[in-house]
């Protein structure tokens, strides 16, 4: 039996789907619970591609008997059901599914999936309720013996910080982003380190610490084009009345991110902002 989770590339759900489907097609003699788990992850790849109906159709292929007889299958089933609902903005259904997954995982000491479910509840809820679920997830992860559960801490510090950011509590947000940065440095996770530094820079901008924000951005922009970093350059240059540079970076941002399906679905006003600045800044 192969560990199909090792094939996950969250940055490329289409290629991951292809790999999972290949495993499914070439594993007719595998344990039926294994195949059911695999189908939950195919559903997740579809959700990340915003193919929600296809994702639910994949989950519907899993026999209810298998869901009822195996706690890992049932936990992962409800987790992915919830993620599909959440990504499609069906929050009530998502919350119900995540709560069911968390309860099954808690009762059966499935620490990794328990923390995952709590972290998803932190995403589905907003404001103070989100903070409560995130804090519960952090506590569970910090106290877990399962290494996979502890590995959620970087994401949890990040998510909780963004909740504070959305609540405009930027000092609390930057403190947690710094904790997230330290954790990822300890784990030598280069990509996550870069994201944490970007997040700190964004907080600095909101705290009117523009020079410090630009210092960090100059450090992390090296090596690849990144629309999110370009957006921060643009916003900081706009604050400094550096209109030519602001326009240049808003254009770079638009070129890289205007076609992003998540931003189109969730933050179309952000795209409109970039376009308006490109047109008006001279």
Angstrom distance (rounded) from CA 19 to CA 7: 7
The pLDDT value recorded for residue 99 is 97
Q: Coil, strand, or helix at residue 48?
A: helix
Domains of the chain, by residue range, sit at: 1-108, 221-282
Angstrom distance (rounded) from CA 31 to CA 41: 16
pLDDT band at 3 (very low <50, low <70, confident <90, very high): confident
47, 51, 52, 56: CA torsion to nearest 10: -90
CA proximity to 84, closest of 104, 54, 117: 54
The pLDDT value recorded for residue 282 is 66
pLDDT digits (tens, 9 = 90+) for 129-171: 999 999 999 999 999 989 999 999 999 999 999 999 999 999 9
**Residue 277 pLDDT > 70, yes or no?**
yes
State the pTM of this model.
0.79
Give alpha helix (H) positions in 88-226. 91-107, 111-124, 127-143, 147-150, 153-166, 170-186, 190-206, 210-220
Cα angle, residue 241 at apex, residues 240 and 244 outer, rounded to 5°: 115
CA proximity to 253, closest of 272, 281, 234, 280: 234
Please report, for residues 8, 72, 83, 204, the alpha-carbon distance to residue 77 in angstroms, rounded to integers and kept in the order given: 17, 8, 10, 40
The pLDDT value recorded for residue 270 is 94
The pLDDT value recorded for residue 2 is 67
Please report, for residues 43, 115, 172, 173, 199, the alpha-carbon distance to residue 154 in angstroms, rounded to integers and kept in the order given: 25, 12, 16, 14, 13
CA proximity to 78, closest of 106, 51, 139: 106
Check if CATH label 1.25.40.10 holds for domain 1-108.
Answer: yes
Answer for the pair 256, 229: CB distance below 8 angstroms, yes or no.
no
């Amino acid at each position: 039996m192969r560990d199909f989770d090792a094939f996950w590339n969250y940055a490329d759900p289409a290629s991951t789907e292809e790999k999972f489907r290949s495993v499914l097609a070439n594993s007719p003699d595998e344990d039926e619970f294994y195949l059911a788990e695999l189908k939950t992850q195919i559903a997740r790849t579809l959700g990340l591609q915003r193919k929600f109906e296809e994702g639910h159709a994949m989950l519907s292929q899993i026999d209810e008997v298998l869901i009822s007889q195996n706690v890992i299958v049932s936990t992962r089933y409800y987790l992915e059901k919830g993620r599909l609902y959440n990504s499609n903005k069906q929050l009530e259904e998502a919350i119900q599914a995540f709560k069911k997954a968390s309860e099954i995982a808690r009762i059966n000491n499935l620490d990794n999936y328990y923390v995952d479910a709590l972290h998803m509840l932190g995403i589905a809820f907003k404001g103070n309720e989100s903070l409560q679920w995130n804090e519960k997830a952090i506590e569970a992860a910090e106290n877990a013996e399962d290494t996979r559960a502890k590995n959620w801490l970087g994401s949890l510090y990040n998510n909780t910080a963004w909740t504070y950011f959305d609540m405009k509590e930027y000092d609390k947000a930057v403190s947690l982003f710094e904790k997230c940065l330290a954790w990822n440095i300890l784990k030598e996770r280069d990509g996550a380190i870069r994201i944490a530094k970007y997040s700190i820079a964004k907080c600095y901008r909101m705290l009117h610490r523009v020079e410090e924000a630009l210092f960090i951005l100059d450090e992390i922009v090296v090596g690849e084009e990144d629309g999110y970093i370009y957006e921060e350059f643009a916003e900081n240059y706009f604050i400094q009345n550096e209109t030519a540079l602001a326009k240049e970076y808003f254009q770079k941002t638009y070129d890289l991110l205007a076609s992003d399906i998540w931003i189109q679905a969730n933050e179309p006003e952000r795209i409109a902002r970039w376009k308006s600045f490109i047109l008006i800044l001279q």
